[in-house]
Amino acid sequence: MGNQQGLDRASVKAVKARDISLSKVTAVADEVIKEALITDIEVIKENTKYEMQLHTRSNCYFENEKQQNFRKIEAILDNVVTSGTTESGKYLVY
């Protein structure tokens, strides 16, 4: 990966459970964009799962700011992904 100073290419990956629809993924994306936490979104459908990769803002120089952003994104994922689904959404933050 490499450690680039001043450029944060860390990402949040959301792996959706089988019964989560693309509209849920879109809702998460809309919410995260509204919060201006990310620069870039990529949604991939793999078999019956959706995967969404969000790239954080490149000006997150400080670890605590990056962690705050991740926590906000996790909260959005929790709200949108788990509401109204039989299986809870699964996601990895790194």
Is 1 among the domain residues?
Answer: no
User: Is residue 58 assigned to a domain?
Assistant: yes
The answer to whether residue 73 scores a pLDDT higher than 50 is yes
Strand order across the 11-15 sheet: 38-46, 49-56, 11-15, 90-93
In a domain, 2, yes or no: no
Classify residue 4: in a domain, yes or no.
no
Question: For residues 28 and 82, which has the higher predicted lDDT (pLDDT)?
Answer: 28
What is the value of pTM for the model shown?
Answer: 0.39
Range of the domain at 37: 11-93
Mean pLDDT of the chain: 55
Give the chain's domain count: 1
Decide if 76 contacts 89 (C-beta within 8 A).
no
- Residues 28, 82 contacting (CB under 8 angstroms): no
For residue 47, what is the domain's CATH number? 3.30.70.260
Q: What is the pLDDT of residue 68?
A: 72
Q: What span, in angstroms and rounded, lies between the C-alpha atoms of 41 and 25?
A: 11
**pLDDT tens per residue across span 17-61:** 434 556 666 676 666 666 666 555 556 566 655 555 655 555 555
The structure tokens 């799962």 sit at 49
Task: Examine residue 3 and state whether it is found in any structural domain, yes or no.
Answer: no
